[in-house]
Each structure stands twice: as C-alpha cells, then as structure tokens.
Structure 1
Amino acid sequence: MFLKRKKNISNLMNTINEMLDVIPTLSDPYVGFADCLHALEAIHYHLSIEEKQPIKTIQKLDVVYDKINHISNDAVTEKKIEEIKIHMNKLIVDFMDEVIVKINVLFLPYKASMWDSLDTIYKTVEKDPNCVATVVPIPFYQLSGDNAIFAYEGNLFPENISITNYNEYELEKEEPDIIFVHNIYDDNNALTQVHEKYFTVNLKKYTDMLVFVPYHISSFILPREDNKYLAYNTPGIKNVDKVIMVNNHVKDSAVRNGIPEEKIQVLGSPKIDAIVNALDSEEDYLEEWKDCINGKTVYLINTGCMFFASRPFVNFERLINFFNIPRFVENSVVIWRPHPLTLNSIINYTPSFSQYYNNLVEEIKNKGSLYKGVILDESIDYIPALMAADVLISEDGSLLRSFLVTEKKVLYIGENMPEGSLLEPDTFYYAFNEEEPWFKIVKKFSRGIDPLAENRRHMSSQVYVNVDGSSGEKIFKEIKKSLLVEYSEI
C-alpha cells in the first residue's frame, strides 16, 4: 500500500474512533453507526485489493464491522461503545504493523532535453525496493507571439526510461506520495507553459510532498541583494514543499526573497551528476560527427535562448566570427548548439530577426560553403557535445555551469569575469578582452598553449555541492526522510 493511502486510512480509522465517542450523544445513534460502517467498507475494499492481503487486519476489521452492524437500540451504552473501541484499537495496531508501505513517486517532466535534471533521482528510486517510480511526461505549449502551440515530447525520452502517457495516469486516483517537477512557472513563463492541469496549485491537491528540482543550474555569479530569481518569486513556489538548490549562496538569496528556509535543501543538481557519469563512462560523441571531428580540436559554441533577444545583429556578427575558427586554426571544427527555445524567444522579442536566424540554420544544415567547418547540434541530449568539446565558447548559462565539471578550456563571451563570481578571474579566457583578442587565444590553443589549465582544477566544487555524481541519490534520500518523518507523526 502506498504511503499516502495508508495515512488516509489511518486517519479514517481515527475518525471512526472519534465518531464512536460521539454516538451516545446523538438523537439517532444509527446515523453515526451507518457512517462508521460505510467507512469500514471503504477500508475493507482497499485492504482486499492489496497484492499481499493483510489477513489479520481484515479479520479484526470484520469483527468491528459485525459488532457495529448487530448492535441493538437498547445496547447503545457507554460500556458497549467502549467494547467496540477496544476492538477498533486492536484493528489500528494490526493495520499499522501488518500493512507494508511503499512510496509512490511521480516524475512530471515536460521537455525531454531537461530530463537530466531528474534522471539520477529517478534511477535512485528505481533501485529502492520500497518505492515505485512513474514517469509521466506532460503536455505543454510553446508560446510564440500570440500563438500557443501544443507540444508533447514523451516519445523523445531515453529508451531506458519507462514512460506512462499522461492520458493513462489519474492524479486524483493515484495521489502520489512524492511528485518531482522541474518547472513551477505555471502561467508565468513567456516561452513555454505546461498544461493547466499540471500547474503547481493543482498538483498540490494530490500530494503531501511536491518537490521542485530546477531544470537549470544556478550561476556561479552571486546574485545581487536586489536581484530576484524568477524561479523563487513566481507564485508557484508557494505550492512547493521542498526546493533543491545547488549552494548556500542561492539559498541565502532565496531566503532574502521570502522563501521559508525549511523548504530549502542544498543538495546540488542531477544535471551535474549527468556530466560526472558521462566522464566516468567515457561517453562518446555522436556517430555522425566522427568523420568531421576525429583528430581535430573541437570548439563548442553555446548560445542561450535569449542570445538574440537584444542586440541581435551584434551577437549575430560575433557568432559568424566564431564560425570562422576552422578557416584560420588548422585541424579545428566548430559545433554550434543553440538553445532549443531560441526561435521562440526571437519571435517574442525580436521578430524581425527570425528570417536571418532561419537562413543561418538552413545554410549550416545544407553544408553551405560559408560554414563547411560548422556542425549544428539540435539534438535532445547536450552531453555528447560537451564530451566532444575541447573548448567551450559561451556566456553564462546552464551549459557552461555543467561544463565546469570537465575542467576543459572556456572562452567566455565577455571582456572579463562578471562581478560577484565565485570563480577566480583567471579561470577562463575572455573573448573580448582588449589585452588579447580571442582569435589570438584560439591560435595558441592549437599549439597546445594553455596557461590556465591548473586554475581550472576542481572549479565546479568551488561553486556547487555534491559534484561527485551523488546529488540525485542524496536528494531522494533527504526527501524520503522528510516524508517519513511527517508520516511517523500521524
């Protein structure tokens, strides 16, 4: 029996006990007895459908049922009620001891590319014999201008994940003990919106433990005191029981923004687990890339979803310049990985630029002469690109934060390290530092010159907790413990 159902039945049994105390004071005791019998019938049904039926508990329930059912009008005395209560208390003891509990854990991802923020939690639950894990990818809308385009990505998840279709899962019936989500924005996101049924205010109706594990990794740049993270200021945060954070700096910011400290658990990110596991397994890059990149220095260019949302033509020119690396750096290749929501953001914020973007994408896909050394990566999984890369060219963003674990070279798109960074300035190279322009830096890379190599050692542990691949396991362990503590108090 799942934990929440056992808790509900336990509460119902206590309610029956309370009703027995009240019955002698009723003008018509049989109305109260009828309610008790209906409650016992409901309990009997749930016990009877258990895979391993709790025989002793059912026998005790039958005794209580018979004593209530056969009580006569003149037998409604305090002594008779007390006798029934003695049997009722024996029933409660047997129920608590005999009925084995399993924890019903539900994962509600929406975009397949964000599954890595939940994956190692799911794998931990799968290994726990006292838990049942269900993954239900939920439908969402891609928002572009005035359009809301229905989307569902359940068919894009890894083959080793057992998927349940959202039409086949009834929240009202299942009442999961724990729900893990990586999106709590409800109707407060400009680019995507999950179906209303899965807004946090609705999910909270069916669970005692709604857990938010962000699909992003928080920045290594400390938030200013007046800065408010969207994730911790959206109304959905009020409906969440626990929020997972990557370090105490983010926690402090969230507390300043009004998030109760008891909601917060600083346990890292499963996204970092994904990189650690890939490094340990020596995960290879995509087969179709091998002929293009074998024996070459690989430059991975990461552009976030808002890269073209402001100053689009300036950033477009910068991107094209980076695409020229193979022209002047021998044995090099560029992989460009634009954020999956890039076009959505362009349509929302700089719609006049959309044709330029589409033309660029098509030119690269068609292997146009201008971009022969450029590979476009639009795959769901970003990890093969990170594993293939020798150098990441990027602004601040989740991909860069994940890349810290690899300890490889970073060419930061900026003049210098932003103020408030937890990393030392000499951790990165800088694309627009006047002292040494980026095209000179990449030429040095081709000659094996990398003076900052030692500075990058353990850089992820300077920023985040549990960077050894244990985050998902620790998250579930702590959430399970919190849930069982609450349950033990019933």
Structure 2
Amino acid sequence: MRKQAKKQLCESMEYLIHTAETIGDLLGRLSREQATDILAQMQELVIHAGETIETTGNDCVEIIEKLENACEIIYQLSGSLDEFKARIHLMKELKELFDAVHNEIRRNIPEKLEILFLPYQVSMWDSLESVWQAAKDRDDMDCYVVPIPFYDVLPDNSLGNIHYEGDRYPDYVPVTSYLKYSIEARRPDVIFFHNPYDEYNRVTRIPEQYYSKNLKKSTDMLVYVPYFVSEEDGPAEYQCYTSGVLFADRVIVQPGSIYKKYCRVYTNVVRHNGLEHTLIPAEQKFLPLGSPKFDKVLNMKYELEDLPEAWQKVIRKPDGSRKKILLYNLSISPMLENREQTLKKLDNVFQFFRERREELVLLWRPHPLLTKTIESMVPWLLDAYMQRVRQFQEEGWGIYDETPDPNLAMVLSDGYYGDMSSLVTTYRETGKPILLQDAYILD
C-alpha cells in the first residue's frame, strides 16, 4: 500500500476511534435524524477503509472481518439509540474493534513508496537509469518512468515544435505515458528529475507543469540528478543554483571538490538573497553519491554482431578484423565560442580520417542539442554546418551517431577526440586515451 494511502487510512481509523469514544452519550441527546446521520457517516468511512485495504492485494482477511463486524454494530446502534446501556456497550465494542483494526493496519500492511522518474531526452536517461534499476525490484517501491515532452526554443525565445521520445527508450524500461500519469492526483512519494532549468533553458524547454517549482507541490521528496558530470573544478557556478537545485529537496552530486563547490556557491546565493529560512541548508540538500552516468558506461556490454549493419560495414576490414574507432565529439560551448573556426576544424578532421579510412573509423557524435543550439543562437551557421553533416553521412567512411544512448559510442570506441565536455569526464572512467581538440590547430 502506498505510504500516503496508509497514512490516510490510519487517520480515518483514528477519527473513528475518537468518535466511538466521545459520542456514546451524545447520541441519546440528538434527534434521531442527527444521530442516524452520524452513524451513516461512520459506516461510510468503515466501508471505504475496507475497500482500500482489499485493493492492496495483501492477506487482510482478519482486518476485513473486523470491519464487517463494525458495520454490523453500527447497524445495531441505529436501533438502540433510546437504550442507554445497550448504546454504551455497543460503542465500547465498536471502539475496541477500531483499535484492533488500527493496530493491525500499522503492523501488518507494508508500506510502498511510489517513485516517479521524469526524464525528457532519452540521451540523458543514463543519469537516472542506475537509480531506477536499484529501486524497480524492491518490494517496498512502485516505480514509474514517465518521459515528458519538450519544445524547441526559437531565437526570439518563443516555443517551436514539441517532441516526445518515450518510444525511444530501451525495451527493458517500462514507459508510462505522461498523458496517463497525473502527478497532482497521484502525489508520488519521491520524484527524480534531470532538467534543472525550468523556463530559463534557451535551447529546449519542458511544459510548465514539469518545472521543478511545480513538481515540489506534488511530492514530499524532489530529487535532482544532474544530466552531466563535471571535472574536478566543478560545474559552472550558475549550475549550482539553477531552479532545479533551489527547489529540490536533495541533489545527487559527485564527491570531493565538486560537492564542495555546489555547497559553497549555493550557500553564498542563499545568504546573499536572505533565503536561509526558506531553502534547505547545503549540507542537507547535497548528497555526494557520485553520478549514475558512471555506472552505465562501466556496466555496458556489446557484441559487434549486435551493432547496426551500416556500422559493422564501416568497422570491419576486408579480412574480418576490426578497425580502430575514435569517438569524435563536438560540444555546444566551443561551437558558440569558435563559430566559423569550428567548421574549418571539422573539414580538417574529416580530411585526416578520410585519408586513413582503411585503418581508422571516425565515430562522430555531436552533442544531441548542437543542431538546435546553432539554429537558436547562431542561425547563420546552420546551413554550413548541416552541409558538413550531409557530406559526412553520404561519403560513408565514418559513423554518424544519432542513437539516443551515448554510452554505446564510449564502450565501442578505442579512444576519444574532440571538445572538452561532460562526456570526457565519463569517458575517463573507461581508462581509454583522450585527446582534446583545439579548433585553431589545423595541422
């Protein structure tokens, strides 16, 4: 039984116990109509309690029998309103039954927490997956994965097309449609989410009802897990006090210097804005438990035969052996900083690997939001960038990775080349070599 439902059930029984204790004498002084109305309300509460208990699927035969006996006593009371001794005796029996039911509910009906996972882009699901895996098989938890839609944000900050990626999750993840899960009605005990920006995201934006400030109204425990991982110097300062960080009850972060930075920056923001009595203290909010993204990349396995046929064709040499694969990553910030120079660098990288196609494979995986970011923030570069994407795909000597899960590219590749990003931090866990690119070196 849901923890919240059990709490409400216990509160109903406490109300019935109190009523049975206090109204024995009162019933004799009320009009028959008033007394009958009170008894009818008690009977409705008892019936509702029985129906709630029956839906739990637990073996609650004795509790149900006691509630049925309580209904019978209430019926007898309605015929004994004028008999003081009989009425007091029946009320005593009724209270004893309610006491027994209350104790059995508390002791014998196990509580279940309802845990809601709210990913939006499937490429970021790895920031929640290992948490979901740890919770989904527990007997005391019911878990729901509810991917939510998101909009493109246009250059004028208006909303463009809406996207939904619920059909792109792995087969082993049971997905519940956001249209069939009402957060306000169900009030899950815990909500995990990974989009911390609410209305301030300039590239994609989720619907307002999923903003962290609104989620907080419908749960007792809102948990933010960053969709990215950070180097030792930690995330950008603004990422330590986004809306998601401020409204979350708990924030799962990497340990050490990263944890300390979150605490320091957040605490300074809270003090500067006089929010000490409004927001949770840093030492209570931030939990240095690491990132689920590391769990994903370290536990993932693959077989060459399981890869897409087009990938296998590029990877295999004529003799059946495997070429070396380099994961090439373009990130958002360097593109916005270097702009046209990044396009020159792309041409340079493509030429290098094109000439070595017999031994090397370039597995190009741009940031999933790179194209949308270019369109939104540097739209004059979009045509030139997309021309290079099309050329790379058409030439067919490399792999253009648009799959939702970045972990396959990290596990499949023999080394990393490209921009500094959170992907580098995760890739380092594999122990494979990493080389960061400089857009201004074209040799």
Q: Normalising to structure 2: TM-score of the pair?
A: 0.81
In structure 2, do the counterparts of structure 1 residues 334 and 54 end up closer, same or farther at CA, with 3 Å as the change threshold? same
Separation in 2, partners of 1:154, 1:204:
23
Could you say which residue in structure 2 is the equivalent of 1:114? 124
Separation in 1, partners of 2:154, 2:110:
49
What is the CA distance between 1:325 and its match in structure 2?
Answer: 2.3
Separation in 1, partners of 2:175, 2:399:
31
Could you say which residue in structure 2 is the equivalent of 1:443? none
- The answer to whether 1:393 aligns with 2:405 is no
Percent identity reads: 29
Q: How many residues align?
A: 409
Separation in 2, partners of 1:406, 1:50:
45
Structure 1 window deviating more from structure 2 (208-217 vs 293-302): it is 293-302
- The answer to whether 1:313 aligns with 2:319 is no
Could you say which residue in structure 2 is the equivalent of 1:451? none
In structure 2, do the counterparts of structure 1 residues 147 and 187 end up closer, same or farther at CA, with 3 Å as the change threshold? closer
| Aligned 8 A contact 1:104 1:131 in 2 | yes
Structure 2 unmatched runs, 5+:
268-279, 317-321
Structure 1 window deviating more from structure 2 (196-205 vs 80-89): it is 80-89
One-letter amino acid of the structure 2 residue matched with residue 108 of structure 1: L
| Structure 2 counterparts to residues 195-210 of structure 1, below 5 A | 195-210=207-222
Structure 1 window deviating more from structure 2 (112-121 vs 311-320): it is 311-320
Separation in 2, partners of 1:234, 1:67:
58
Could you say which residue in structure 2 is the equivalent of 1:13? 13
Structure 1 residues 222-279: Cα deviation after superposition (integer angstroms, max 9, x where no partner)? 45xxx6233x42333344232211113232222221352222222111111111112x
Match of 1:229 among 230, 235, 238: 238
What is the CA distance between 1:172 and its match in structure 2?
Answer: 4.2
Structure 1 window deviating more from structure 2 (153-162 vs 381-390): it is 381-390
Structure 1 residues 345-374: Cα deviation after superposition (integer angstroms, max 9, x where no partner)? 11222111111111111111221xxxx644
Structure 1 residues 38-65: Cα deviation after superposition (integer angstroms, max 9, x where no partner)? 4333322211323235122222333444
Structure 1 residues 112-139: Cα deviation after superposition (integer angstroms, max 9, x where no partner)? 1111112222222233234332222112
Match of 2:434 among 410, 430, 434: 410
In structure 2, do the counterparts of structure 1 residues 19 and 359 end up closer, same or farther at CA, with 3 Å as the change threshold? farther
| Structure 2 counterparts to residues 153-164 of structure 1, below 5 A | 153-164=165-176
- The answer to whether 1:243 aligns with 2:265 is no
| Aligned 8 A contact 1:323 1:374 in 2 | no
One-letter amino acid of the structure 2 residue matched with residue 387 of structure 1: V
| Aligned 8 A contact 1:220 1:401 in 2 | no
Separation in 2, partners of 1:238, 1:57:
44
Partner-residue secondary structure (3-state), 1:333? strand
What is the CA distance between 1:107 and its match in structure 2?
Answer: 1.9
In structure 2, do the counterparts of structure 1 residues 263 and 313 end up closer, same or farther at CA, with 3 Å as the change threshold? same
What is the CA distance between 1:341 and its match in structure 2?
Answer: 0.8
From the CA coordinates, give the structure whose radius of gyration is larger: 2
What is the CA distance between 1:175 and its match in structure 2?
Answer: 3.3
| Structure 2 counterparts to residues 360-399 of structure 1, below 5 A | 360-367=388-395, 373-399=397-423
What is the CA distance between 1:21 and its match in structure 2?
Answer: 6.3
Could you say which residue in structure 1 is the equivalent of 2:270? none
Could you say which residue in structure 2 is the equivalent of 1:103? 113
| Structure 2 counterparts to residues 68-467 of structure 1, below 5 A | 68=74, 70=77, 72=81, 84-145=94-155, 146-222=158-234, 228-230=237-239, 232-256=240-264, 257-258=266-267, 260=281, 261-278=283-300, 281=301, 284=304, 286-294=308-316, 295-326=322-353, 331-367=359-395, 373-413=397-437
In structure 2, do the counterparts of structure 1 residues 388 and 148 end up closer, same or farther at CA, with 3 Å as the change threshold? same
Partner-residue secondary structure (3-state), 1:165? coil
Separation in 2, partners of 1:78, 1:307:
81
Could you say which residue in structure 1 is the equivalent of 2:4? 4
In structure 2, do the counterparts of structure 1 residues 253 and 74 end up closer, same or farther at CA, with 3 Å as the change threshold? farther
Separation in 2, partners of 1:205, 1:164:
21
| Aligned 8 A contact 1:303 1:337 in 2 | yes
Could you say which residue in structure 2 is the equivalent of 1:470? none
Separation in 1, partners of 2:127, 2:49:
38
Separation in 2, partners of 1:10, 1:80:
22
One-letter amino acid of the structure 2 residue matched with residue 160 of structure 1: Y
Separation in 1, partners of 2:291, 2:352:
33
Structure 1 unmatched runs, 5+:
415-430, 440-490
Separation in 1, partners of 2:115, 2:365:
33
| Aligned 8 A contact 1:110 1:140 in 2 | yes
In structure 2, do the counterparts of structure 1 residues 409 and 3 end up closer, same or farther at CA, with 3 Å as the change threshold? same
What is the CA distance between 1:298 and its match in structure 2?
Answer: 2.5
Match of 1:62 among 47, 52, 68: 68
| Aligned 8 A contact 1:302 1:395 in 2 | yes
Structure 1 residues 303-350: Cα deviation after superposition (integer angstroms, max 9, x where no partner)? 123332233112222232222322565722322211111122112221
| Aligned 8 A contact 1:293 1:333 in 2 | yes
| Aligned 8 A contact 1:286 1:384 in 2 | no
Separation in 2, partners of 1:88, 1:320:
78
| Aligned 8 A contact 2:212 2:243 in 1 | no
Structure 1 residues 394-413: Cα deviation after superposition (integer angstroms, max 9, x where no partner)? 33322111101111111123
Separation in 1, partners of 2:382, 2:105:
63
Separation in 1, partners of 2:323, 2:442:
19
In structure 2, do the counterparts of structure 1 residues 45 and 290 end up closer, same or farther at CA, with 3 Å as the change threshold? same
| Aligned 8 A contact 1:325 1:332 in 2 | no
Separation in 1, partners of 2:359, 2:202:
41
Separation in 2, partners of 1:204, 1:19:
35
